[in-house]
């Protein structure tokens, strides 16, 4: 199994933003909808991608899907995506979705796109 490199573009970030949902008082980010998963699905049509901080699953929907780990750029991108926050008035409460431009906590900033992310195979 080889490493996989993918370019995460602004369109992937925006697509992931459109998939965020409000659950209780927290914004839920699905592992299959984050920017890296969006980019992987663009690159590998017909495959599913599920991205966790410690593991990435990429393949067909079988139990034998290859497992990868994120490089530093991928981890930083996930941390930045999770560091977004909105004010209460920024939510569309009927659709349970955030609206408008988020701010970032912990000094995070919007990444410069494209972000090159390399997935390394788990051994």
84-106, pLDDT tens digit by residue?
887 777 777 677 777 777 888 88
- List average pLDDT for each run of 10 residues in the chain, which is 123 residues long: 93 90 77 92 90 88 82 94 82 72 84 95 85
pLDDT of residue 108: 87
pLDDT of residue 62: 64
- The C-alpha atoms of residue 37 and residue 48 are separated, in whole angstroms, by 8
Whole-model pTM?
A: 0.86
Neighbour tally for 118: CB within 10 Å: 15
pLDDT of residue 115: 96
pLDDT of residue 63: 67
Does the CA dihedral 23-10-77-30 come out positive or negative? Answer: positive
Neighbour tally for 5: CB within 10 Å: 11
Cα-trace Rg, the chain: 15
Q: Encoding tokens for residue 88? A: 């209460």
| Residue 94 three-state SS | coil
- The C-alpha atoms of residue 5 and residue 1 are separated, in whole angstroms, by 13
Helices 35-43, 10-18: axis angle to 10 degrees equals: 120
Task: List the chain domain ranges.
Answer: 4-121
pLDDT of residue 92: 72
């Amino acid at each position: 199994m080889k490493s996989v490199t993918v370019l995460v573009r602004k369109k992937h970030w925006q697509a992931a933003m459109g998939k965020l949902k409000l659950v209780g008082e927290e914004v839920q980010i699905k592992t299959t909808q984050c920017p890296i998963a969006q980019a992987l699905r663009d690159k590998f049509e017909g495959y599913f991608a599920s991205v966790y901080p410690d593991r990435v699953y990429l393949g067909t929907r079988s139990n034998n899907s290859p497992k990868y780990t994120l490089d530093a750029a991928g981890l930083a991108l996930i941390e930045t995506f999770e560091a977004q926050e909105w004010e209460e008035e920024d939510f569309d409460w009927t659709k349970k979705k955030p609206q408008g431009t988020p701010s970032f906590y912990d000094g995070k900033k919007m990444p410069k796109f494209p972000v090159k992310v390399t997935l390394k195979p788990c051994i």
